Amino acid sequence: MEYSMYDNLARDRFASKLAKSGCGASLRSARLLAQGRLEALATRIEKIRPFSSILDPAMLHSLSLWVLLVPSCVCVFTFFPTFLLAQETRDFGVPLAPPDPLTELAITLKLTSDDAMPANGVPLTDDPAIFEKLVVHAKQAGYNTLYCAFRDYRLELCRKHGVKLMIDVLAGDAATRTDIRQPAQREKLRKICEKLQGDNAVWGYNLCHGPLDRFAPEGSDAINQCLALLRTWDSSHPVWVASSAYPPLDKIQGTAGVLACVANPADRDLESCDQTLAEGFALSQTRIDVLGRTFVSNGDGRRLRYAINTSLASGVKAIYWTDAGPLNAQTGELDASHPLLSLLREIGPLAHEIAEIDRPQAVYATSKALGDAPKMPGTETRHLSPIPVDCWAQVVSGEAIVGFFKYDSGYEALLVANRSAQRPQRMVFEVNASGDTAPSVELLNRKTGQWDKLTVNNNRFEFNVTPGGGELLRLLGVATD
């Protein structure tokens, strides 16, 4: 079910009521809440109504809007039916209001994991001078977020050098004792979280980055219980919750902030990557949370580049690697020859823009032949929808996954990821102009950080994409209706 199927005007009316109701959501956040809840309700109506097969999508949409919008005088009545339908297990009281919006794509260096296990088998230094060297080298490498156990000096060094701290809340070692799964350690963690409310040097908290059933014997119930505590102690920062795939994350109640999928593209074929993208986009359309992905820095670099750029095109807003990559967590030294560095520097210029374009309105793909063989006429991907024939932007030549986004400033945006991890592509697009003059099309130059204006002839423009790479474009003067 796609975003474009829903009435933006009705969504915005519902969002306005939410924002004015005192529930703590900004208008932008409320729009996301209304967006997700309208779609979630329509989906559930399709499943539970015995006569749903005789109703067309427009009638189901109207029914969902009627349930939500008729009680216009009291916000809680519009929200209550959807909330009940969305909860199918014990309610742990996870707040639905979202945390503060992300200001940039999180490009995260993981220094510890759950239970304070060291990254790459190297324990993280607890020497402030060496940790500062680590922060400086991490920023130099292209990271903007560090994931590790909390120390006051670590936070202040991150603040000093313009890097954010993602806090490990499963660190139960003797020196830290902030494992939220352990009731005896929660009071210390509560004081830390309450102190960090609204702190701009904090990215948020990492609660789970593996299969949900391995988090604790109680599985997702334990995660929801811990999530409720974190979001109550600090409502301003997101909580990272990851599983081995996106669909199980629908068990997460309320709003965590980031729902992520653990992936190793070196061990999976590209068709499996496409399935993950489709599942992630489907999940994001029914929730306020944004998407995250985790990767490993070793393996096939081309597939890693493909997995990252296609993930960004599908709406991912936070990524981290499950190893320390080019950094030594004990000495703070940087391996200047590490192959991940070139990829980090490719991604870095996108960080601010990825946050600005918010979540995708739609994600489509051109046809693709498996194994990077020449495309055969009529070949279609099994997991991602093709671009509709009446869409305002069409791919004339080249193969890509295309995310359709929008800036608050009014620009339309396209994030175009190469459909091949092996070959470059010459992409040719054709768009609908909104007037007699040619549309304005600009491409973000990742080397300079500036926007390069593309030549538009007969409403067509073209550009190159490297193997497994991606490009961000912004457009004005296009007719999207």
pLDDT at 322: 79
Backbone phi and psi for residue 77, each to the nearest 5 degrees, phi listed first? -70, -35
CATH label of the domain that carries residue 439: 2.60.40.1180
93 within domain boundaries: no
The verdict on residue 407 lying in a domain is yes
Say if residue 174 is in the same domain as residue 35: no
Contact status, residue 419 vs residue 401, Cβ threshold 8 Å: yes
Q: Kindly state whether residues 201 and 349 are assigned to the same domain.
A: yes
Distance between alpha carbon 49 and the CA centroid of its chain, in Å? 32
Write the CA distances from 175 to 55, 115, 150, 185, integer angstroms. 60, 12, 10, 12
Strand order in the sheet with 425-431: 393-397, 425-431, 460-465
Phi, psi of 6 (to 5 degrees): -105, 150
Specify whether 341 is located in the same domain as 381.
no
Residue 270: per-residue pLDDT: 65
Does the predicted model carry a pTM greater than 0.95? no
Shared domain for 283 and 310, answered yes or no, is yes
Closest CA to 171 of 148, 152, 190, 200: 148
Residue closest to 261 by CA, chosen among 274, 247, 251, 271: 247
Q: Roughly what angle, to the nearest 10 degrees, separates helices 57-69 and 8-20?
A: 20
351 lies in the same domain as 463: no
> How confident is the model at residue 112, as a pLDDT?
67
Question: Using one digit for the tens of pLDDT, what is the confidence trace for 61-75?
Answer: 444 444 444 433 333
pLDDT in tens, 378-400: 334 567 889 999 999 999 999 99
Domain boundary among 356, 373, 395: 356
Residue 7 has pLDDT above 90, yes or no: no
Is the same domain home to 368 and 344? no
Q: How far is CA 428 from CA 334, 350, 384, 395, 477, in A?
A: 40, 22, 20, 6, 18
Please tell me whether residues 321 and 468 are part of one structural domain: no
pLDDT exceeds 80 at position 94:
yes
Q: Please indicate, yes or no, whether residues 114 and 231 belong to a single structural domain of this protein.
A: yes
How confident is the model at residue 264, as a pLDDT? Answer: 60
The reported pLDDT for the residue numbered 291 is 97
Q: Please tell me the least confidently modeled range out of 104-113, 221-230, 258-267, 442-451.
A: 258-267
Rounded Cα distance, 229 and 190, in Å: 8
- Edge to edge, the sheet with strand 362-365 lists 362-365, 400-406, 412-418, 470-476, 440-444, 451-453
Higher pLDDT, 111 or 134: 134
State the Cα–Cα distance between residues 363 and 280, nearest whole angstrom. Answer: 11
Residues 313, 257: one domain?
yes
What CATH code is carried by the domain that includes residue 198?
3.20.20.80
**Residues 235, 115 share a domain:** yes
| Residue that finishes a domain, picked among 86, 119, 142 | 86
Residue 114, in any domain of the structure: yes
Q: What are phi and psi of 99, to 5 degrees?
A: -70, 175
> Pairing between strand 316-321 and 290-295?
parallel
Q: Which two tokens stand for residue 224?
A: 């929801």
Report the pLDDT averaged over residues 201-216: 89
Which of 269, 272, 277, 333 lies closest to 120 in space, CA to CA?
333
pLDDT at 217: 80
How many folded domains does the chain comprise? 3
- Residue 35's domain spans which residues? 3-86
Task: Identify whether 264 is part of a domain.
Answer: yes
Last residue of a domain, one of 356, 385, 413: 356
Domain assignment present for 32: yes
Q: Do 373 and 314 lie in a common domain?
A: no
**pLDDT for residue 140:** 96
Same domain, 160 and 302: yes
Is 389 contained in some domain?
A: yes
